[in-house]
Structure 1
Amino acid sequence: MELQFLGTGAGQPSKKRNVSSIALKMLDEINEIWLFDVGEATQHQILRTNIRLRKVTKIFISHNHGDHIFGLPGLLATRSFQGDVGPITIYGPAGLEQFVRTALKISRTKISYPIKFVVLEEGGLIFHEKGFKVYTEKLAHRVPSFGFRVVEDDHPGELLMDKLAQYNVPNGPLLGKLKNGEKIVLDNGTILDGNDFLGPNKKGRIITIIYDTRATPAIAQLAQNADVLVHESTFAGNEADLAHSYYHSTAVEAAKIARNNNVKRLYLNHISARYLGVKAKKLENQAQKIFANTRLANDFDRIVIPMKGEKDE
């Protein structure tokens, strides 16, 4: 599982940062890629990566401001040129479907695959398939805005081969059944229950993505125990009043969320164009004083998210 930042800027593109988009690559797990927000020129950013649009099956939109959705019609149109790509599902606030359908209609763009829209209204579970759940909560922005929490189901424990050795179970389907927690019968009539030979379950990974919002208790709900928290940090820590007035957050507020909610890694995202070079590093330094494992996200950064107990990369 891997996160790749396609756009880390706020409001408008700059020479160093495009506007908002993040790809969650789950190619090894379910052979899919999910996008979180699709700002202008996201498809141009994708051309500089190994992402294939045919692999994008779900898109989650936090809110309907232009720097988060203007790239969506073009990306959907280009996906039609990728062959038999299959359907796509788009989750987002009310009005998003009207925006996309109108843009496609006015431009007479033909889409070769089904598009399903799911309207986000309140918090809770919005998706559970293929070993993954996605939760959302309503945030505090000028327009309806939603944060997302992706939770991987727990993985079965490893088969304890040392414990199983005395039974001389042959390689093949019988071991597979034990690995799945099923019962098997050996040639001598012995019955073995796979659950008796499995180690403890491996906890699934948790990724939380928070775009435009003031500080609100809903963020903590989404961030609790996350392996990776991506949090908007439009303003510096000494600009809390300004951030609040613009319905945004500071790097310091993001760090406090990470520190107080048992987060493993924090990535500062949605950086104002006022913060370039050394000034952007200032946001990271402020946050690290509160939560040491903080990094400033940059366009095209790739974040590998290992299974619990495996070494971070």
Structure 2
Amino acid sequence: MAVSKSKKKPPGSVLLSRRRSAAPAVRHATAAAQSSSLSSKAGRALIRSHHTLQKKLSQALSRNDEAAACTLRAEIEASGGLEKYQQASINGQSAQRGGDSSKLLMQWINEDCADRTVLKERGLRMLEVGSLSPDNAVSKSSLFTVTRIDLHSQHPAIETQDFMQRPLPASDDDKFDLVSLSLVLNYVPDPAGRGDMLRRTTQFLRRSTEQEPGNPASSLFPSLFLVLPAPCVTNSRYLDEARLRGIMGTLGYTPVKRKLSAKLIYGLWRHEDTAEAAKQANWKKEEVRPGGSRNNFAVTMN
């Protein structure tokens, strides 16, 4: 999975050149076999543990506590590291468990566009950050040319790359109609890094055009598909839906679609160019929902 102003790398980020050999396919087959045997409960426990260790590592690094950081890195590796985390994520989002979030994305697109001719004529391009599989619903739709990246690729069709280190597009032709951050932002260990990531998505989206009545492409794209664990928004001390809308609005995003389930919150956010407003964004870590049982998930910008 996958952290621009500060250009911070998330702990555990490994930037590797893409290898064009049979090795990735072998690794993918092995990972698939291992992940299929991992129970849902065990997978969720592993993911929670990995997130906790990454957060502690980030805190140790921020206070320059190298001794604690070394201990935490050893714990992360002992528990299987990023590869094991990825296996659990693939298992959790497998088709058997109905975890492909792009199914909802395609449902939304189909609801607004019964005639796909307009979309196909546009030549839609998508950047999928934190991609786990090239066989999800959006890839099978034939509507998008999909570029897939992940910090630790488990498949040869997915490039090993840190989104925060991906070169910026040289022109509008190199940009995308849709950027997907499905269960990616919550992996970033610190609030400022999350803000940096959201801000950076705007640099990869094509320029918006004036919305045309009856043209679904103009009403849906360019956009960001953002998926978060529901508690990040529904039970956080520092983030609720109103604040999320405010942060996204600063970056030029307007909510087009939304769904809240027991576990996840999904959103499709259309982007309009507001570069100057984004530069002046100033969102500090402020309590919006008091309570001892709240989590500390937050997004900050300055």
Q: What TM-score, normalized to structure 2? A: 0.30
Q: Which has the larger radius of gyration?
A: 1
| Structure with larger RCO (C-alpha < 8 A, sep 6+) | 2
The structure whose residues are more often strand, as a share, is 1
The structure whose residues are more often helix, as a share, is 2
Q: What TM-score, normalized to structure 1? A: 0.29
